[in-house]
Amino acid sequence: MTDSQNNSSPDNPLDKAAPAEIIELRVRAFRLGEFGLIYDSYHPDSFFRAQFPERDEYIRYAWNHLRRDFKIRRCVVLRERQLSSEEYHLIFHQSVELADEVVESVEMGRFFSTSQGWRYHSSQKMLKDDFPGDPSEIDFSDFKRLTDKVFF
């Protein structure tokens, strides 16, 4: 495992990053196997952190499973909005390889402010079948219309 950065490191690139930059850092980290940065990008109160309360546990899991089975082919931020000084939303379009299957989706990511800066809390996802037409035309109101409003 190549990842031992502590999330409170003074050199943590997440601390000064805007939410769109955090998405870019996460994509880069997935591609390089820097799973500690992925972990550190999550808000402490996120569903992800509830599933993986220990950083090292997630790094081991990701190294053993995600490194070979999950690849981000493309990820583009389409829209951004800041709701308050504490909450930020963005929409991103991505294409990932999961095992041998390519999955295309558009997600609305929710970020919340912490003492260390913005952190990724959760997303609401639309798979390709859920959005007709060009993904670049999707806006925040499209997510309000979804019948399945699950955030993960």
pTM for the model stands at: 0.88
Residue 50 lies in a domain: yes
pLDDT string in tens for the chain (152-residue length)? 333 334 556 679 999 999 999 999 999 999 999 999 999 999 999 999 999 999 999 999 999 988 888 899 999 999 999 999 999 999 999 999 988 899 999 999 999 999 999 999 999 998 888 887 899 999 999 888 876 665 66
Which CATH number is 43's domain given? Answer: 3.10.450.50
What residue numbers bound the domain in which 41 lies? 19-144
Residue 107 lies in a domain: yes
User: Burial letters for 72-85: b for 16+ Cβ neighbours within 10 Å, e otherwise?
Assistant: eeebebbbbeeeee
Q: Are strands 70-82 and 101-114 parallel, antiparallel or unpaired?
A: unpaired
